Structure 1
Amino acid sequence: MSDRYIKKILSSNVYDVAVETPVDVARSLSKRLDNNILIKREDLQPIFSFKIRGAHNCISQLTQVERDCGVVAASAGNHAQGVAMSAKYLGINATIVMPKTAPDIKVNAVRALGAEVILYGDTFPEAYAYSLTLVAESGMKYIHPFDDEHTIAGQGTVAMELLRQVQGDIDAIFIPVGGGGLIAGMAVYIKYLRPGIKVIGVEPEDACCLKVALDAGERVILSEVGNFAEGVAVAQVGERNFELAQKYVDEVITVTTDEMCAAIKDIYDDTRAVVEPSGACALAGLKKYVDREKAQDQTLVTVSSGANLNFDRLRHVAERAEIGEGREAIIAAQIPEHPGSFEQFCTALGERNITEFNYRYASDSQAQVFVGVTLKAGEGSAAPLLSQLADNGIGAVDLSNNEMAKSHVRYMVGGHANVDNEVVYRFTFPERPGALLKFLKKLGRPWNISMFHYRNHGSAYGRVLVAMQVPMADKEVFEGYLDELGYAFNEETTNPAYQLFLAPETH
């Protein structure tokens, strides 16, 4: 099987539209991690993503009859641009089905390349299903983003370039994983030519379709997929991709949203390029590997796979980068409610810098404060900070890994309300004009809304924290109604951030 793919990779037709991208040395990061860190810069492709390789190689294999029928693809962004650019170069009509939630920057880029864009559905599966309907009705050729031999081979040219560009020893190569096209193509080539190099896939913790499949020994469909790194937000790894990964991938590492934000900052610091979350995913995994293995003096390569980032998402990235790097902690601390207590709290912190402080009067005796604190070099977690505060008689809780605290509570600390039967839920719903109003209308049933927080993060999905007054006798009926809404949700009533800052005193 590997011989067949090697031949396809070596004969892949990608350079009509793609370029050979450089390998940059991440000098600052190399010094910090005590390893030689190299970055394969696929964010420098004409569409700012490696996807142009697989798309063009796949389309260029079509017969003239197939070309005359046109091509169709379903994509939220990068693959769509690759298909559109390739089709324009070859003079082929292209239709791209994108979910209505697709970022404007990607929709406009696809249209600018001459493709017809059809916005359909709120999610990629809906757009994909409609694209297959178009194939059945019109006879257009479907261009798959990852589960196609020609697509896989086109992506494999990244490895072909990389191993030619880096002649010395390479200990490991870290590759982002969505549907698996890039890692499948790269892994088969790397292991064929230099089998001693470790091939390590990296996925977001909430979109780890390859890791789950490898652990299970079969392809699995994830029930929910996180959308922060939309370029790798795939519910099921491709069939061909999984088969190749089983043979040629050494392991898969998962990373958090905050760790990807920190990696975006790392790449910016060394290259001045702002990559998308999926483009920094592999570097986040590399850093985790170095920490786990205590690796030193190794040559480690990461693929920066894309840079199609909406500008308004930078706010969220900047807020999370320091937490992801282990340089900042978010804590809830209890201090006495009397003059001078804040000064005493700052004194207890020692030389640490406060990055954020939220407080509202709640009682005559104790105050709960929501605080961001810079950690000292080498600490990596809030544990030493909490111990130091405890030594000064101050109790505190680490909220650095509490998603509700970071996405909502830090922006709404306001004190405890006097309400009965309050339950709290965190929702995500497709983000587009009017989406929030539609959500509120759907939620407007017999139960009263007692708290509401919404904040746009510049992504395809809105995030809402809602408290409702629901008597215990109604709880089962209420959750049944939430299921009918069709939005992903989590109950947060017992979340410590809610309990400390927002829950009714009698709760």
Structure 2
Amino acid sequence: MPGLERSATTGSLAPAANTNGGAGTLGLVDYLQKILTARVYDVAIESPLDEAKKLSVRLGNRVLLKREDCQPVFSFKLRGAYNKMVHLSAEQLGRGVICASAGNHAQGVALSAQRLGCQAVIVMPVTTPRLKSDAVRSFGAEVVLHGDSYSDAYQHALELGQTHGYEFVHPFDDPDVIAGQGTIAMEILRQHQHPIHAVFVAIGGGGLISGVAAFIKAVRPDIKIVGVQTSDSDAMVQSVRAGERVRLHDVGLFSDGTAVKQVGIETFRLTQALVDDFVVVDTDAVCAAIKDVFEDTRSVLEPAGALAVAAVKQYVARHDLKGQTLVAITCGANMNFDRLRFVAERAEVGEEREALFGVTIPEKRGSFRRLCEIIGPRSVTEFNYRMSDDQIAHVFVGLATSHRGESAAIAKGFADHGFAAVDLTDNELTKQHIRHMVGGRSPLAHDERLYRFDFPERPGALMRFLSHMHPDWNISLFHYRNQGADYGRIVIGIQIPPDEKTSFQSFVDGLAYPCVDETDNPAYRMFLR
């Protein structure tokens, strides 16, 4: 695949020697010119560069937030969409534009079409929350709901565009879109003309980081560019490591704004050549970052918008940085209100302020009291207890902590007093389901297997799941949770005859929902098996 070659002396980038024309022929100078001449301010504002004062004090570094969440559509996406569309000919605009998006890009295209006076058709998955589709309609765009995923919507948008002659506006893999996003970097360097150690950028398909990196490496190559992805949607990180674009089988849905299975051809080329480092963060760290930004700004970011802040914290700890200036691009704030309960629940663990344990105690008088004495003056966040049998009992305990490493010391303290303890702080099954289910076992579920699924939150999705199950499979446990997101979470216990195990795997493959076998999870075995 064509790549950009970094000059050993100047750090500049030149076009790859073997390109196939089109976007692949653009070098760093070309992108610098495109960014400097980009048309974005007909729709976008020059967003503030604000210091996160509380977070800066905690981290011992100056943390600046590039507030793209303050844009008219609460996301940076309108920059690239408008810059692409304003460069279309009158004839192209007259035919109309089309895009596929579940959120921020859709609003950017719709607003841009309204300003330019052209028709816009937005293809969105049927799983898209009404809040987002209504926001797109409010700009006068036509919304077409199709498919369960972005991939389904994308293919349908291409087909409609070809049939009706609409111009397709890609969410990230287009030089004009990339240049529009690059204006963010231009503003950062104008707003802060002093040293900057690194700029942290969330990555979905790669349009934002490509534009930011192209401008900064052309003007201030000493500044590090750090890309950020979630651990369950890290297509760019895997692609850079592999040296070629990798397509993920599935992606996590919490940070839906960056849930992309395969990055763009051009964005991969630029990112591979220009980005200095990557940080991968988990859901809990993102929730903690949302809380951090709220405490400093009283603004609520969407998960994708908080990735860069989560990465700053992780990067500082990894490199033991002190006294540096770090910029995090807070790239979006289209948060569904109902999701806040999930964020609040997980932020304490992400901020390393809560540890979760499964503690085994002898089922005899005085054991429970002795356990409480061991906990002592610590603040208890959760306590669930139910007698298991006449020999032992399992207790689910949540304790306030000051740092993540403290959980190991607490577990050792339990063990030193004769109480075996399992640290469940990083156990996803525990955080999503077990802590809400503690309290029951079934003597009839001896051959039960446990599976955890995520599925699109749409009418009929649960019934589709259940109706496809074989009638010979017995459901022995079921727990469903939805935190106001675009997807639901279930954990299900199933008793499957030995000769039906192949059929069950076919059932899972046919659903194409993310699935995790949790049968051997220690939390399940302690509290539910």
Q: TM-score, with normalisation over the residues of structure 1? A: 0.97
Query: Which amino acid counterpart does residue 94 of structure 1 have in structure 2?
Result: A
Query: Which amino acid counterpart does residue 414 of structure 1 have in structure 2?
Result: G
Give the structure 1 partner of residue 413 of structure 2: 388
Superposition deviation, residue 90 in structure 1:
0.8
Matched-pair contact (CA < 8 Å) for 1:275–1:304? yes
Query: Which amino acid counterpart does residue 87 of structure 1 have in structure 2?
Result: A
Q: Distance in 2 between matches of 1:498 and 1:434?
A: 28
Query: Which amino acid counterpart does residue 200 of structure 2 have in structure 1?
Result: F
Task: List per-residue Cα deviations over 1:178-208 (Å, max 9, x = no partner).
Answer: 0000000000101111111110000001101
| Partner of residue 476 from structure 1, selected from 482, 487, 502 | 502
Q: Equivalent residue of 1:207, what SS?
A: coil
Counterpart mapping for 1:93-492 below 5 A: 93-375=119-401, 377-419=402-444, 420-492=446-518
Query: Which amino acid counterpart does residue 333 of structure 1 have in structure 2?
Result: V
Superposition deviation, residue 425 in structure 1:
0.9
Give the structure 2 partner of residue 39 of structure 1: 65
Matched-pair contact (CA < 8 Å) for 2:472–2:497? no
Give the structure 2 partner of residue 88 of structure 1: 114
Q: Equivalent residue of 2:328, what SS?
A: strand
Kindly indicate whether residue 93 of structure 2 is the aligned counterpart of residue 63 of structure 1. no
Superposition deviation, residue 448 in structure 1:
0.7
Matched-pair contact (CA < 8 Å) for 2:68–2:75? yes
Matched-pair contact (CA < 8 Å) for 2:80–2:178? yes
Matched-pair contact (CA < 8 Å) for 2:479–2:490? yes
Give the structure 1 partner of residue 9 of structure 2: none
Matched-pair contact (CA < 8 Å) for 1:327–1:380? no
Superposition deviation, residue 477 in structure 1:
2.7
Task: List per-residue Cα deviations over 1:92-127 (Å, max 9, x = no partner).
Answer: 100000001112221110011110001100000000
Give the structure 1 partner of residue 98 of structure 2: 72
Superposition deviation, residue 350 in structure 1:
2.8
Q: Distance in 2 between matches of 1:434 and 1:356?
A: 34
Q: Equivalent residue of 1:360, what SS?
A: strand
Query: Which amino acid counterpart does residue 242 of structure 1 have in structure 2?
Result: F
Query: Which amino acid counterpart does residue 266 of structure 2 have in structure 1?
Result: R
Q: Distance in 1 between matches of 2:319 and 2:34?
A: 35
Superposition deviation, residue 227 in structure 1:
0.8
Task: List per-residue Cα deviations over 1:368-390 (Å, max 9, x = no partner).
Answer: 01111111x34545111111212
**Number of residue pairs matched by the alignment:** 502
Matched-pair contact (CA < 8 Å) for 2:452–2:515? yes
Q: Distance in 2 between matches of 1:341 and 1:390?
A: 14
Task: List per-residue Cα deviations over 1:383-438 (Å, max 9, x = no partner).
Answer: 11111212222211011111111111111112221123211111111111232222
Superposition deviation, residue 357 in structure 1:
1.4
Matched-pair contact (CA < 8 Å) for 2:231–2:280? yes
Q: Distance in 2 between matches of 1:448 and 1:394?
A: 35
Q: Equivalent residue of 2:387, what SS?
A: coil
Q: Distance in 1 between matches of 2:517 and 2:104?
A: 34
Superposition deviation, residue 308 in structure 1:
0.2
Matched-pair contact (CA < 8 Å) for 2:61–2:323? yes
Q: Equivalent residue of 1:206, what SS?
A: coil
Matched-pair contact (CA < 8 Å) for 1:210–1:252? no
Q: Distance in 1 between matches of 2:300 and 2:30?
A: 37
Matched-pair contact (CA < 8 Å) for 2:472–2:496? no
Q: Distance in 1 between matches of 2:247 and 2:452?
A: 23
Q: Distance in 2 between matches of 1:160 and 1:91?
A: 28
Matched-pair contact (CA < 8 Å) for 1:349–1:388? no
Q: Equivalent residue of 2:492, what SS?
A: strand
Query: Which amino acid counterpart does residue 253 of structure 1 have in structure 2?
Result: V
User: Kindly tell me: are residues 311 and 444 of structure 1, through their superposed partners in 2, closer, same or farther at Cα, counting changes over 3 Å?
Assistant: farther
User: Kindly tell me: are residues 381 and 66 of structure 1, through their superposed partners in 2, closer, same or farther at Cα, counting changes over 3 Å?
Assistant: farther
User: Kindly tell me: are residues 479 and 198 of structure 1, through their superposed partners in 2, closer, same or farther at Cα, counting changes over 3 Å?
Assistant: same
Q: Equivalent residue of 2:494, what SS?
A: strand
Q: Distance in 2 between matches of 1:454 and 1:257?
A: 19
Instruction: Tell which deviates more after alignment, 272-281 or 97-106.
Output: 97-106
Query: Which amino acid counterpart does residue 465 of structure 2 have in structure 1?
Result: F
Superposition deviation, residue 487 in structure 1:
2.1
Matched-pair contact (CA < 8 Å) for 2:69–2:76? yes
Structure 1's unaligned 5+ residue stretches are none
User: Kindly tell me: are residues 380 and 273 of structure 1, through their superposed partners in 2, closer, same or farther at Cα, counting changes over 3 Å?
Assistant: farther
Matched-pair contact (CA < 8 Å) for 1:73–1:144? yes
Superposition deviation, residue 444 in structure 1:
5.0
Query: Which amino acid counterpart does residue 412 of structure 2 have in structure 1?
Result: S
Q: Distance in 1 between matches of 2:366 and 2:42?
A: 69
Structure 2's unaligned 5+ residue stretches are 1-26
Identity of aligned residues (%): 52
Matched-pair contact (CA < 8 Å) for 1:96–1:118? yes
Query: Which amino acid counterpart does residue 459 of structure 2 have in structure 1?
Result: P
Q: Distance in 1 between matches of 2:316 and 2:447?
A: 48
User: Kindly tell me: are residues 178 and 381 of structure 1, through their superposed partners in 2, closer, same or farther at Cα, counting changes over 3 Å?
Assistant: farther
Query: Which amino acid counterpart does residue 67 of structure 1 have in structure 2?
Result: L
Query: Which amino acid counterpart does residue 6 of structure 1 have in structure 2?
Result: L
